[in-house]
Structure 1
Amino acid sequence: MKTIRHCLATDLKNNPELIKKYKEYHKPGKGFPAVAKSIRDAGIVEMEIYLIENRLFMIMEVDNSFDAATKAKADALCPEVQRWETLMWQFQQALPWAKAGEKWLPMEEIFKLTEQP
């Protein structure tokens, strides 16, 4: 199966206690099952989140069925996903250049080894 990679970034509030709690919520079995289901149901094959200081970096591998707008609509209708999003906003903060309501922003790919001579 061919997948497409999406890379996104956002920030956490620069507070060590909040960062520690955020990391706890993302340990296996600590998240909300409905959130993991919504991710998988949307055609997201793999999702990884990395942290440095208070900057988060997400890598998503998606299949051909993935559509961000469709996922956003489905998430808006799921109370458990909305509860998770509200909870996560206690820890997260928008990137300085984000527009109102934007959280995870797509990153631009600027280098790929396999395309180099």
Structure 2
Amino acid sequence: MTTLTLAPAGHRHTAGSLSSLRLTRRGRVVLAVLAATVGFVVSLLGARAVVADAPAAPVEVREVVVEPGDTLWSYASEMTVVGADVRDVLADIVELNGLQTSTLEIGQTVLLPVTSE
């Protein structure tokens, strides 16, 4: 079924005319839901950015003096709880100490996070 809309006399009906745009109730509801969804997604992304910039919680540490044969891997292996990945603990130790390399020097002091088992 085709609907014919007649414009008042003297009114030019063009394709880009906003005056001819009319939303039905359903169209307004869809538009409102779409706007609410976009707002919700934007607020989630904003909250995520705030959480990502939050400072890390303080970590209890102990100091260890490196002895012959000690490696970052051996420290991480000793500290890793069952089911955890040694590489994650190793990365934490490297970040905690601000190390650029995994090489340790005898006599060097290394901070290790205290684990609670």
Q: Which has the higher strand share?
A: 1
TM-score normalised by length of structure 2: 0.24
Structure whose alpha-carbon radius of gyration is higher: 2
Task: Say which structure, 1 or 2, has more relative contact order (CA 8 Å, 6+ apart).
Answer: 1
